[in-house]
Structure 1
Amino acid sequence: MNKLLHLHTETTSLVIKADKTLPEMLYWGKRLPEGTDLDTFFAANHHPVPQARIDTDTVVSLCPEHARGLFTAPGLEGCRNGDNWSPEFTLEETVLNGQQVSFLCRDRLAALKLDIHLSLNLKSHVLSTHLELTNEGNSNYQLHKLTNTLLLPTIAREIMYFHGRWTHEFQTERKKLDRSGFILENRRGRTSHEHFPGIMIGQANFSETAGKVYGFHLAWSANHRFHAEAMSDGRRYLQAGELLMPGEVELIPGESYRTPTLYSTYSNKGLNGISQNFHRHVRNEIVRFPEPQKVRPVHLNTWEGIYFNHDPEYIMKMVRSSAEIGVERFIIDDGWFRSRNDDKAALGDWYLDEKKYPNGLQPIINCVKEHGMEFGLWFEPEMISPDSDLYRAHPEWMLHTEGYEQVTIRNQYVLNLQIPEAFDYVLDRLDNMLTGYDIRYIKWDMNRELVQPTNNCRAAFHGHVEAYYRLVDEVRRRHPMVEIETCSGGGGRVDFEILKRTQRFWASDCNDALERQTIQRGASYFFPLEITGAHIGAKLCHTTGRQHNADFRGITALFGHMGVELDPVRACEEEKRGFARYISLYKSLRQLLYTGDFFRYDTAHRESQAWGVVSLDQREAVVMFAQMDMPEYAMSAPLPIPGLNQTKDYKVRVLENSSSNIYMKQCPPWMTEPAIMSAALLEQVGLMMPVMQPESALLIQISQV
């Protein structure tokens, strides 16, 4: 008799066969009917054995094995100096605890123990998986690969993945998954702008609101690899794990390696269902705020306002102007420490520049607090400049490979935090600043990739990220009330694992509202709005050279953790009024934005996009419609709005409009006079949109009558 396990939530079922070999997923999808007989289920779904192949059923297990005749990517690759390269595990113990299950497996000949862990969250419907390999032999085991493997149904025919670059993160692309494999690799030492560790796989042409889809995110802040394949027998699977460099992990006797956690979820309601599950999981299980009941404060970050030109008297003018427009947290960015007058020097010298700040930071902090704000400060703790006192004193602390010249990126090197003395130095400087001043917020940056990193004669990507985690953990332990933002030249290092330690991520160094429309949409597939940093930038964006009015910038920044990144002192009075209006609007909406269900809507025309948030009680919603480029047609189309209570009527009205309406002689009537509409009508027929200028947005309020 085969032992079948059924993990389930209200919406999702996972059936696993756990017999003598490694466990195998038999089903993962919509919740099976109550009372389903698993033995009957197995009989109906038992694999046939085709001709001209292995004479027994070949299993795509949770860690596929070459030894059993499966000619696909094994879940484990490694050896003992060439031996034990093709292990064959036996399942020895299964421990089931509610919706969590652990499988203890061994290959006694290879002297390896493999533990496989799965947990299906009852509230978020997110499946968490990880593997742990232990060397039980008497000699070292060289680990090349250990990865999470999940079987997919045959309907999994299309992949949506993420790509980008600096100032252009979270872009999406689609590919077919049919008689082929798909590999996405990142070797940059951080999650990267180029290859975010997330992927969607579903039935052909899945959309925001329709289709069966599976979403995956690997919680790891460095190198990673995704591999999806449609096998020759029609079966499909996904593998996701850390990408290890040659010789990077060697297990001594008794030592273990644990994979990063793969977070996965299923939706039969399109991509919105995936996002809502991930958002719920991040809110309930991942991010921890020092003060959970505290509202998310509006930021002002000084970077694009003053860059390296730090003058305490002028900064205090910025503080006062910030308070006037409603800012609640004031952050001094790069340029506050010794000899940091441009980006070519001083990283690592984390001492206040007394020439710029002869009276220290305290007068500024006092001014910030007097105006009802919190104070934050920028650091880049993992970096070291060639032109720095620290590098001149300790050039050996640079992360590099002996005998080779390390390249600079953005005029800087990486500090080897795996050297205890280097780790202690950085920790001491952070601790000193956080102890000496009332700093409630750190913007923690990492502005370059790792190139040829070596520690103790081995590749050190894995070791660096573990040292980074230890450093953040210790800073949090010593200063538990300090919030931390993860930034890496924008969105270059963001994932669920670092968000266990931080409370916000900077989505991009680009504050261009048009670019942000796409960037924030891409980020929304995985992350809730309250941790996604979104700022109103200056009218002229320094990364693109484009200009947008305050309304388009303000509407775009509403859908994230709002802030401003400019100099409010130099802004004209009209702009200041615009900033104040959108900050006030944000404050009135943030409870809804940060607790409701997020929806992206399927728009009829490719030059437009729309998203919104519906309160959990379905009493209110706020929707944004954006015209990205020149309208495709002379007339717009209705926007279907799902998620409302189908038995209720709603009042629809315009909150803000950044377009001048020059393309219309007559607007849709609801734009000039609030309209009462049923939820059924809004979902099935939709709300007629106006014809809008390129690079503009409309904000709509929907409230239950």
Structure 2
Amino acid sequence: MMKSERERNPPSMIHYNKSSRQFHLQTKASSYVLQILETGHLAHLYFGKKIRHRNDFENFIDQKKISYGSTTSYNRLIDGFSLQHELLEYSSYGKGDYRNPSISLLSNDGNRTFDFIYQSHQIFTGKKELDGLPSSYAYESEDVQSLELILEDKCYELRLILSYSIFHDKDVISRSVSLQNRGKQVLIIDKISSFSLDFDKPDFDLVTLDGSWIRERFSHRRALNYGMTEISSRRGVSGSDHNPFILLCDSNASEISGNAYGFALIYSGNHSSSVEVNTHDKTRIQMGINDFDFSWKLNENEIFQSPEALLVFSDKGINGISSMYHRFIRFNIVRGPWQFKERPILFNNWEATYFKFNEKKLLSLAKEAKALGMELFVLDDGWFGKREDDHSSLGDWTVNLKKLPGGLKGLGDKIKKTGLDFGIWVEPEMISIESELYKQHPEWMIQCPMREPSPARNQFILDLANPLVCEYICESMKSLFSSADISYVKWDMNRNFSDIYSHSLKPEQQKEFSHRYVLGLYGILKELTEQFPHILFESCASGGNRFDLAMFCFMPQIWTSDNTDAMERLHIQSGSSLFAPTSVMGAHVSAVPNHQVLRNTPIESRFNTAAFGLLGYELDLSKITNFEKKVIKKQIAFYKEHRKLLQFGTFYRIKAPSDRGTSLWMIVSEDQKDAILGYYQQLAQPNPPSERYLLEGLNPDMLYEVQNRTQFMDIRQFGDLINQALPVSINTEGILHSKIAENYLYELEKTEFKAFGDQLMFRGFVPKQQFYGTGLDDHCAFLGDFGSRLFILRAVED
């Protein structure tokens, strides 16, 4: 087969100018330039919009040669040279740079000053895997080139390797660091950042994803000021408080314009992301393992590998950053048979039954789910040991035969006969004190000697720093996953770390525990996902407490949040979408009043929010009305028709959610011929102003037919106003009204028109006038509180 021109001449991504000792890293749309200084330190020259390659990037470095009055010079030979005022690629403590160091070490002779100087480099095609850690990979035959910069501290025979991989077409640069002890000294690592990056400007806005349980990843934006801003986790997991993703942008940057930089860490444990602006208006960004309660003993000839971080630049605003991460996660993070496979519509029994179920109840729910068009039945918590509540049995992965007389196989076979696939919930990292496992191995539980351990959700954590525990989890899960026809596994982790102590580690190694736990988890997940490639694994950690790129390397989707309220999910899913595509976000329709916020939201809005994710239902199907059953059936049919677009299209945030106003999402097919616009309203306003919204991602030359998804409303939402539309008056509190409401599908207004893409993007989309006290008819949209619409755009012939 003839090779294409691109295969014969792949793009040059890494240039080295030998005379100027400069490296120029290029993606399709960005450049990254660094230089070896005369002292051997690495200076960062530029990261931003792609620039043409030159043999010497003159005038990129501050040329000051006269030292400041209180400056510490690096040495006596170069007058005026101070590391404090250089833009450095990686920095250590003790030689005059007083900013936050990238690495902090302690030798066994008490020395804390280290100095890493360039020795050599290598450039090669492809990308190496990281030892023991998940990382990105080159998809099929795409063009990836890597650079390794080898630095040394000769006093202590330490080798520091800065690794860069350039994903040309994805506009992504990955960075990681490894440290090798080549000397006789025992070394303690107190801090090792996955990357450090200096800018010579201070005026950035910082965007972070912050929150807590059931309000994860709300987006927050603020201007930077002097000093250091840090977001981190000390919980043992990546956490719902602060996600290991940050974004820097110009103060005038919007969703669609302006310079923006994204930084994401591929790690699931304690992490730290810091941004420091010093008083000489330089900005330093660092990201990596949190150095709080961390140290690592590095013996002779041992290597420590940091997690990988992904850096992206866009001059097309924050949505530009998101699009790069979305594509990269789909192609270069998620892997295996489910990478591009459309995900099934599932039913989960948790909010329908909690712990109170038996086989008869489960089969009844499964039959209802199948009748409505669902494809997968998921058995949640409570099926094992003596699990009647959350106080017992974690660690005992044997079936409760009182609830399920035929075991998992018996139930699974019956579920399969209804026409649904079968999935289960597990929480393998946990242990209950009331369990057979604890009786046999109390030393496997994380707990401090001589202290009463602190519970969370009435449970405790197994010591994954102990290889015996990891082996037990692997073997018990292999036996479980092989015991029935299981096609889906929800892997949960419902608490944060406390009482941190491992009985398998020496006293001087206890600060290694949190990282060793994460490495143990990765080893388990790698073994299980490789042995059961057909299983669709979904990660869960009290909802979104471990929503990070490392988990996506093993599990192609994550339960986004335990909060299933549609209006709260607008904030949660919008924030998550800063880096995560819809193809990884689990999103369910649940009952009202919602179990997390007691809000009553129309069932159509619950679906319209969940549709921008991996659709599932989590409510008691035996208790819903005929109206709801009919509507759900139509929702599922719509989702199946547009599933590929909703799961794998290009996502845009048109208008961010607010407490009172409207928000808009949009998703567009790769060929730009199909799109869906989601329109969501928080609270209805009296006499609101007219609306017009500029859409994104369309082909300006294509003609689009725009139609709303046919939606229905429970007529009880009208109250007494229903009598204005009926020929006879009925009692809205009576039986007749109730019977009509339970069975009648009141169809909402229709929208249908044609417009070219340029009109919709540059002049805008105008929704129908809303009802605000008068004139309710077919030309008026009645949304009310928490109302929403989906609009379908299809390219048609002119």
TM-score, L = length of structure 2: 0.84
Q: Deviations over 1:381-440 (max 9, x none)?
A: 011111112112221111122222210011011011233332222222211111121111
Helix, strand or coil: the match of 1:446? coil
Q: Alpha-carbon deviation of 1:367?
A: 2.4
What does 1:238-277 align with in structure 2 at a 5 Å threshold? Answer: 238-246=285-293, 248-277=295-324
Alignment match of 2:81 (pick from 40, 51, 56) = 56
Structure 2 match to 1:88:
115
Task: Confirm whether residue 103 of structure 1 aligns to residue 120 of structure 2.
Answer: no
1:704 aligns with 2:723: no
2:22 corresponds in structure 1 to: 4
Q: Which residue of 2 aligns with 1:533?
A: 586
* Alignment pair present for 1:612 and 2:666: yes
Q: How far apart, CA to CA, are the structure 2 residues paired with 1:262 and 1:247?
A: 19
Structure 1 window deviating more from structure 2 (686-695 vs 260-269): it is: 686-695
C-alpha distance after superposition, 1:18-39 (max 9, x if no partner): 3562433211111114xx4241
Give 1:478 shift. 2.4
The one-letter code matched in structure 1 to 2:30 is T
Matches within 5 A, 1:127-276: 127-147=173-193, 148-152=195-199, 154=201, 156-246=203-293, 248-276=295-323
Give the deviation of 1:293 after TM superposition.
5.5
Q: Does the 8 Å CA contact 2:339/2:556 hold for their aligned counterparts? A: no
Task: Kindly indicate whether the alpha-carbon contact (under 8 Å) linking 1:47 and 1:57 is maintained by their aligned counterparts in 2.
Answer: no
Give yes or no for contact 1:155–1:202 (8 Å, CA) kept in 2. no
- For residue 243 of structure 2, give the secondary structure of its aligned residue in structure 1: coil
When Rg is computed on C-alpha atoms for both structures, the one with the higher figure is: 2
Mapped to 1, the partners of 2:761 and 2:665 lie a distance apart of 14
Alignment of 1:459-538 (within 5 A): 459=511, 460-538=513-591
User: Amino acid of the residue matched to residue 590 of structure 1?
Assistant: R
| Structure-2 separation of matches of 1:630 and 1:128 | 45
The residue aligned with 1:297 is 344
Q: Tell whether the 8 Å contact from 1:206 to 1:212 is kept in structure 2 after alignment.
A: yes
- 1:122 equivalent among 161, 168, 175: 168
1:284 offset after TM fit, Å?
0.7
Residue 617 of structure 1 deviates from its aligned partner by 1.2
Q: How does 1:327-476 map to 2 (within 5 A)?
A: 327-455=374-502, 456=505, 457=507, 458-459=510-511, 460-476=513-529
Provide closer, same or farther for how the CA distance between residues 22 and 294 of structure 1 changes in structure 2, counting only shifts above 3 A. same
Deviations, residues 222-247 of structure 1 (Å, cap 9, x unaligned): 10111101122222121001013446
Determine which of 21, 24, 37 is the counterpart of 2:40: 21
Say if 2:106 is the partner of 1:79. yes
1:693 match:
784
Stretch of structure 1 that moved more, 534-543 or 329-338: 534-543
Match of 2:58 in 1: 42
Name 2:760's counterpart in structure 1. Answer: 682
Note the C-alpha offset of 1:122: 1.6
- Contact 1:536/1:553 (<8 A) preserved: yes
Displacement after TM superposition at 1:673 (Å): 4.6
Q: CA deviation at 1:464?
A: 1.0
CA distance in 1, matches of 2:484, 2:292: 41
Quickly say closer, same or farther: Cα 1:291–1:532, change in 2 above 3 A.
closer
What's the CA shift for 1:630? Answer: 4.3
Question: Secondary structure of 2:454's partner?
Answer: coil
Alignment pair present for 1:639 and 2:730: no
Report Cα offsets for 1:250-285 as digits up to 9, x if no partner: 111111211111112111111111111001111111
Shift of 1:333: 0.3
2:393–2:434 contact (8 Å) kept in structure 1:
yes
Q: Percent identity?
A: 29
Give the partner amino acid of 1:3. Answer: R
Cα 1:679–1:153 shift into 2, 3 Å: farther
Q: Name the stretch that deviates more: 603-612 or 407-416.
A: 603-612
Counterpart secondary structure, 2:549: coil
Structure 1: which amino acid aligns with 2:180?
T
1:452-508 Cα distance to aligned partner (Å, 9 max, x none): 312223131111111111111121232222221110000001211121111110000
- Shifted more, 633-642 versus 312-321: the winner is 633-642
The CA deviation at 1:698 is 1.5
Conserved? CA contact 1:417–1:467, under 8 Å = yes
In the TM superposition, residue 636 of structure 1 has moved relative to its aligned partner by: 3.7
Hey, what's the Cα distance between the residues in 2 that align with 1:9 and 1:688? Answer: 38
Offset, 1:44: 4.9
Distance of aligned partners of 1:312 and 1:91 in 2 relative to their CA distance in 1, 3 Å threshold:
same
Shift of 1:156: 4.9
Separation in 1 of the partners of 2:758 and 2:672?
13
Specify the SS of the correspondent of 2:90: coil
Residue 73 (structure 1) shift: 0.8
For 1:468 and 1:240, locate their aligned partners in 2 and report how far apart those are by CA, in whole Å.
21
Aligned to 1:473, the other structure's residue is in SS state helix
Secondary structure of the structure 2 residue equivalent to 1:454: coil
Alpha-carbon distance, 1:291 to partner? 4.6
| Preserved contact between residue 551 and residue 656 of structure 1 (Cα < 8 Å) | no
Mapped contact 1:6–1:15 kept (Cα < 8 A): yes
Q: CA RMSD in A?
A: 2.3
Cα distance change, pair 630–182 in 1 and its aligned pair in 2 (3 A): farther
1:317 shift after superposition: 1.1
- CA separation of 1:560/1:673 partners in 2, compared to 1, >3 Å: closer, same or farther? closer
Q: How many residues align?
A: 697
Q: Deviations over 1:563-589 (max 9, x none)?
A: 111122222221111211111111111
CA contact (8 A) 2:592 2:598 kept: no
Contact 1:603 1:639 (C-alpha < 8 Å) held by counterparts? no
Distance change in 2, residues 1:621/1:565 (3 Å): same
Q: Which moved more, 1:64-73 or 1:529-538?
A: 64-73
Cα distance in 2 between the residues matched to 1:531 and 1:674 = 32
Cα gap change, 1:633 to 1:399, in 2 (>3 Å): farther
Q: CA 1:126 to 1:353, structure 2 compared with 1: closer, same or farther past 3 Å?
A: same
- Which amino acid letter does the alignment assign opposite residue 687 of structure 1? F
1:82 positional shift? 5.7
CA pair 404-583 structure 1, distance change in 2 beyond 3 A:
same
For 1:37, the aligned partner's letter is R
Partner residue of 1:654? 708
Q: State the one-letter code of the partner of 1:80.
A: S
Unpaired stretches in structure 2, ≥5 consecutive residues:
1-18, 74-79, 126-144, 725-747, 771-782
> What SS is found at the alignment partner of 2:59?
helix
Structure 1 residue 149: deviation in Å? Answer: 0.5
